[in-house]
Each structure stands twice: as C-alpha cells, then as structure tokens.
C-alpha cells in the first residue's frame, strides 16, 4: 500500500498504536498496527504490536509466536526484546508461576534489548518493572533511580511514579510472603484485604490481646445493611482466600460482612470509602469505643466530594481525624471512589497499628 503522506509511515502508525494500547484502547491500537503492516509488510513493529495485544488478552502462546516473527525480520529491533520481557513476566504472573521459573528468562530478553540499544530509557523502565513484578525491590529501585538521574522524557515521570511505589513498599515493610505479593498490586480485592488483615495486621491476635467482651465485636454502621457473618458465603467454594475470609468473618468487621444474599464478593475491589469503613470498624473493635460508630453523624460534611449522609461518611471522618486515611491537603477532596493499591492498604494498616498502640 502506498503512503498517503510523508507522515503515513509504518513507524508512525506503530508508535500511535502503542499510545492507544497504553490508554487501553485496543481496537484503535489494532487498527494502527494493521496500517503499519499494510504500509510495510516486513516491518517488525506490526508483530510486536500484535504480541502486546495478545499479552493483554493473556494469549501468551500467540504473543511469543508474534515476537519470534518480529525478531526473525529484524534481530536488532529493540522493542521486540522489550516486549518479550514483558510477555514473559506477564505470563509468569498470570499463571502464578514461581518467580524462578520466569525471572531469568525475562532478564535475558532485557539484556538483548540493552545490547541492541544501549541506554534506551524504554529498556530501563520495563526492566525496572520486571524487577518490581518479581519482588526484587532493590534492583527495581536502582533501575528507576538511574532513569530519573538521566532525566529521560516521558519515562522520567513514569520512573518517578514507580520509584514512589517501591519506596512505599519498603517503608511499610511487609512481614509475610503474602503481604509482599499483595503490596505490589495496583488494586486490591476484598479477598486480598482479608489476607492482609490476618497475615499483616494479625487481627485475630489483636482481638485476643484486647480481650474485649463479645458486644464489642459486632456493631452496625448506621444506614448500612448487615448480612449474617455467621453464615458461610455461597461464593467462597472456589476462592483461593477462603480460609482467611472465614477467619475475618468471625470478627464481624463492618465492610467485610456477608451480604444479605449470602455472598462475600471476594473479587470486588476496595476503594477508599470501603477501606475507611473497614479501618474504622477495626478501630472500634480494638479500642472498644463504640462512640466512634456515630461520632460525626449529622455534621456538615468536611469533604467536598463526600455527602454527610453517605454510608461511609462517619468512618471517613474518623479515619481522617486520626490521620489514618487523609484527604488531599490542597483540595480537601477525599476521593472515596479511588481504588486502594496493595501498598496503600499496607500503609493504612501500619498507621492503624500505631493508632491502637500495638507493635508487630
């Protein structure tokens, strides 16, 4: 196909496809990659783009096949080796393979990428992500710091963001293998929060240490419908987190109960409002201060984006007042619907530990 403009090149369409892919616009990305192929059938970028689309869809076999074709067409096409490293890591994580089963193979792909294009910031960035995904925080920090020191365009901001995540995880210092895995997640589910409560907060041990009467282990957030926590949820039979969830349910923590239709919804994501409700519930459970359950009801909302009649308002106000989950210092916004990352959840639990004066 002849180009229609000097800018109508396979390289330009490939790069545009990557931009669309990063934005989650798969159809637009596929269209750009196809245009690149039409303009230059042997251009390796088409196969790299198609491999990345397959990776997103978890079709790792096809992704590897596409990358083999890209490398066959141009053995020095750096993006093909970077994409291969990404595919290897993504497959390892998606299939829950041991780190040792995929980490070195991914590093070899990045070594080839670096050899074909020394100092390429894209290589350094995705290498840092590979270390991070493998739980190797020290080399991840080194890779991102090196990029920041070099000041490479768009990868500078991305590296700064990732370095902040690494530093946060190092600061909260997960004490268990489960905690380390969950701390690296960009979003966490109700099941994963239950695991953190058991493995990192040691919630059952804390309740035992407090020796609170049974009346302090169950209370309702005003306006919130509670399910029967004593009933085993109907959606836990195949859940990987069933043992942790059942242990948490015994405590009757608001925000992590069984719904009226007897479900736990283990895969539902935790946002800041839900995290505040759970944190507030634990605070009441451990302190025995039931006044906290209604302390800020009826007041004018102190957050521009949270109504005072919201089911989570009192919990949010308590957490903000205690400095456990705070609002934006400049705008006052709480962002109740923003999902909580694993590292952020860990940080909240560490602040909660300090709030109830327990050391782990």
**For residue 163, what is the domain's CATH number?**
1.25.40.10
| Strand, coil or helix: 339 | strand
Angstrom CA distances, 191 to 140, 196, 337, stand at: 27, 9, 18
Residue 57 in any domain: the answer is yes
Tell whether the model's pLDDT for residue 216 goes beyond 70: no
Residue 163 in any domain: the answer is yes
Same domain, 60 and 201: no
Which of 144-158, 199-213, 258-272 is predicted most confidently?
A: 258-272
What average pLDDT does the segment 249-253 reach?
Answer: 89
Domain boundary among 141, 172, 203: 172
Residue 360 in any domain: the answer is no
What average pLDDT does the segment 224-245 reach?
Answer: 76
pLDDT at 287: 86
The residue segments making up the domain with residue 254 are 177-355
Same domain, 163 and 291: no
Structure confidence by residue, pLDDT tens digits, 110-159: 999 999 999 999 999 999 999 999 999 999 999 999 999 988 688 999 99
Tell whether the model's pLDDT for residue 200 goes beyond 90: yes
Same domain, 337 and 241: yes
pLDDT at 320: 96
Same domain, 159 and 256: no
Same domain, 73 and 167: yes
Q: Are 275 and 196 in contact (CB under 8 A)?
A: no
Structure confidence by residue, pLDDT tens digits, 18-52: 999 999 999 999 999 999 999 999 999 999 999 99
Tell whether the model's pLDDT for residue 359 goes beyond 60: no
Same domain, 334 and 245: yes
What average pLDDT does the segment 350-359 reach?
Answer: 76
Terminal Cα distance for the chain, rounded: 66
Structure confidence by residue, pLDDT tens digits, 45-100: 999 999 999 999 999 999 999 999 999 999 999 999 999 999 999 999 999 999 99
Same domain, 266 and 157: no
Tell whether the model's pLDDT for residue 348 goes beyond 80: yes
Residue 248, CB half-sphere, CA atoms under 13 Å: how many? 30
Question: Domain count of the chain?
Answer: 2
**What whole-number distance in Å separates Cα of residue 164 and Cα of residue 145?**
10
Domain boundary among 147, 172, 197: 172
Same domain, 14 and 149: yes
What average pLDDT does the segment 276-300 reach?
Answer: 92
Residue 187 in any domain: the answer is yes
Same domain, 78 and 154: yes
pLDDT band for position 213 (50/70/90)?
Answer: low
Q: Return the percentage of the chain with pLDDT > 70, whole number.
A: 93
pLDDT at 219: 44
Domain boundary among 125, 157, 172: 172
Tell whether the model's pLDDT for residue 327 goes beyond 50: yes
Same domain, 276 and 246: yes
Same domain, 97 and 235: no
Residue 106 in any domain: the answer is yes
pLDDT at 357: 65
Compute the mean pLDDT over every residue in the chain, rounded to the nearest whole number. Answer: 91
Same domain, 165 and 188: no
Q: Would you state the torsion angle of the CA atoms of residues 56, 61, 342, 265, taken in this order, to the nearest 10 degrees?
A: 80
**What whole-number distance in Å separates Cα of residue 91 and Cα of residue 84?**
10
Which residues have CB under 8 Å from 210's CB, separation 6+? 286, 288
0.85 exceeded by pTM: no
Residue 4 in any domain: the answer is no
| Structure-token match 């041991």, residue found | 98
């Amino acid at each position: 196909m002849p180009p229609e403009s000097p800018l109508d090149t396979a390289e330009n369409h490939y790069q545009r496809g990557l931009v669309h892919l990063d934005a989650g616009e798969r159809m637009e990305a596929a269209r750009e990659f196809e245009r690149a192929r039409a303009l230059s059938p042997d251009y390796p970028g088409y196969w790299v783009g198609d491999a990345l689309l397959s990776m997103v869809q978890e079709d790792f076999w096809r992704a590897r096949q596409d990358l083999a074709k890209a490398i066959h067409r141009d053995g020095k096409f750096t993006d093909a080796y970077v994409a291969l490293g990404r595919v290897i890591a993504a497959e390892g994580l998606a299939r829950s393979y041991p780190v040792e089963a995929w980490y070195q193979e991914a590093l070899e792909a990045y070594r080839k990428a670096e050899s074909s294009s020394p100092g390429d910031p894209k290589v350094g960035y995705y290498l840092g992500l590979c270390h991070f995904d493998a739980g190797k925080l020290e080399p991840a920090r080194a890779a991102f710091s090196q990029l920041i020191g070099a000041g490479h365009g768009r990868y500078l901001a991305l590296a700064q963001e990732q370095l902040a995540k690494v530093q946060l995880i190092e600061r909260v210092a997960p004490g268990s293998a489960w905690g380390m895995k969950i701390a690296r997640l960009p979003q966490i589910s109700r099941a994963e929060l239950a695991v953190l409560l058991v493995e990192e907060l040691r919630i059952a041990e804390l309740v035992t240490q407090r020796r609170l009467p049974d009346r302090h282990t169950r209370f309702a957030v005003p306006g919130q419908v509670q399910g029967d926590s004593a009933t085993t949820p109907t959606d836990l039979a195949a859940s990987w987190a069933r043992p942790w969830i059942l242990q948490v349910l015994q405590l009757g923590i608001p925000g992590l109960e069984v719904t009226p239709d007897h479900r736990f919804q283990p895969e539902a994501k935790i946002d800041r409002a839900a995290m505040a409700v759970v944190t507030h519930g634990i605070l009441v459970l451990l302190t025995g201060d039931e006044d906290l359950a209604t302390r800020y009801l009826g007041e004018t909302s102190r957050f521009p984006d949270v109504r005072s009649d919201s089911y989570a308002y009192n919990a949010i106000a308590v957490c903000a007042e205690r400095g456990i989950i705070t609002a934006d210092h400049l705008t006052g916004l709480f962002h109740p619907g923003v999902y909580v990352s694993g590292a952020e959840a860990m940080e909240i639990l560490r602040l909660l530990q300090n709030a109830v004066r327990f050391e782990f």
